[in-house]
Amino acid sequence: MIPSLPRPLWLRIATGVFVAAFLVFLFLPLVTVAAFAFNDAPYPAPPWQGFTLDWFTGNDAEGRTGLFKDEELMGSILTSLLVAAWVTLLSVVVGTTNAFLMERMRFRGQGLLSLLMLVPLVIPGVILGISILAFASRVADLLGDVFGWEAEFLRPGLPLVVLGQVSFLIAIATLTISARLKRFDRTLEEAAYNLGASRPAVLATITLPYLRPALIGSAAIVFLMSFQDFNTTLMLVGADSPLTVMMYGRMRDGATPVLNAVSVFLMVASTAIALLLMRGDDRRRT
Question: What does the pLDDT look like over 154-199, one tens digit per residue?
Answer: 888 888 999 999 999 999 999 999 999 999 888 888 888 888 888 8
Tens-digit pLDDT profile for residues 84-139? 999 999 999 999 999 998 888 887 877 888 888 888 888 888 888 889 889 888 88
Query: Domains plus CATH for the chain?
Result: 74-254 (1.10.3720.10)
Report the Cα–Cα distance between both ends of the chain, in Å, rounded.
34
CA distance 8 to 194: 62
pLDDT at 5 > cutoff 70 = no
pLDDT at 17 > cutoff 90 = yes
Which string of b and e fits 78-91 if b means at least 16 CB within 10 Å? ebbeebbebbbebb
E-strand ranges in 65-193 read none
User: Does residue 187 contact residue 258 with C-beta atoms inside 8 Å?
Assistant: no
CA distance 137 to 153: 10
> CB-hemisphere CA count at 13 Å for 227?
17
Residues 231/232/235/237 CA torsion (nearest 10 deg): -110
CA distance 18 to 278: 28
pLDDT at 240 > cutoff 90 = no
From 260, 276, 185, 239, select the one nearest 72 (Cα to Cα).
239
The pLDDT score that the predictor gives to residue 92 is: 95
Tens-digit pLDDT profile for residues 36-82? 888 888 888 788 888 888 888 887 656 678 888 888 888 999 999 99
User: Does residue 56 contact residue 73 with C-beta atoms inside 8 Å?
Assistant: no
> Could you tell me the sign of the dihedral formed by the alpha carbons of 44, 49, 55, 56, in that order?
positive
From 28, 23, 37, select the one nearest 264 (Cα to Cα).
37
DSSP state of 286: -
The structure's pTM equals 0.85
Q: Which uninterrupted H or E stretch holds 234?
A: helix 231-236
CA distance 29 to 95: 35
